Amino acid sequence: EAKSTQDKRSALHLFRLGEAMLRIVKNKSRPLLHMMRAWSVVAPHLVEAACHKERHVSQKAVSFIHDVLMEVLSSWAELPHFHFNEALFRPFEHIMQLELCDEDVQDQ
């Protein structure tokens, strides 16, 4: 029972973390540097959640990564000498390399 409560809290934290990152990305008045810093902190947690044993948690984590990527790529132009778009794809790269992740999650 305690483990179930712990898993529910973890899922709730994931949803809040993902939604907060999406709000940061969608705010066009926020400097790109803020977004880059937030992504460097949030992305490893999303990768960890993508390898979670609960299927709905792992799928939601991959969905958050995808949503952030799509929002940034469609709304923000890459500035000269910046490589932020490359950094955005690193979580997907890590998910594909980790043996811990479910094949269905990797396919997603």
Residue 47, number of CB atoms within 10 A of its CB: 21
For residue 41, give its domain range: 2-107
Q: DSSP H helical segments within 27-83, as ranges?
A: 32-50, 55-75
Q: What is the pLDDT of residues 37-78, one digit of tens each?
A: 999 999 999 999 988 888 888 889 999 999 999 998 898 777
H or E segment to which residue 97 belongs: helix 84-97
What mean pLDDT comes out for the span 18-37? 92
Among residues 107, 69, 82, 100, the alpha carbon closest in space to that of 32 is found at 82
Give the tens place of pLDDT for each residue, 63-73.
999 999 999 88
- The structure's pTM equals 0.81
Structure tokens at 30: 């926020």
Question: Into how many domains does the chain fold?
Answer: 1
> Is the CA virtual torsion 11, 56, 106, 73 positive or negative?
negative
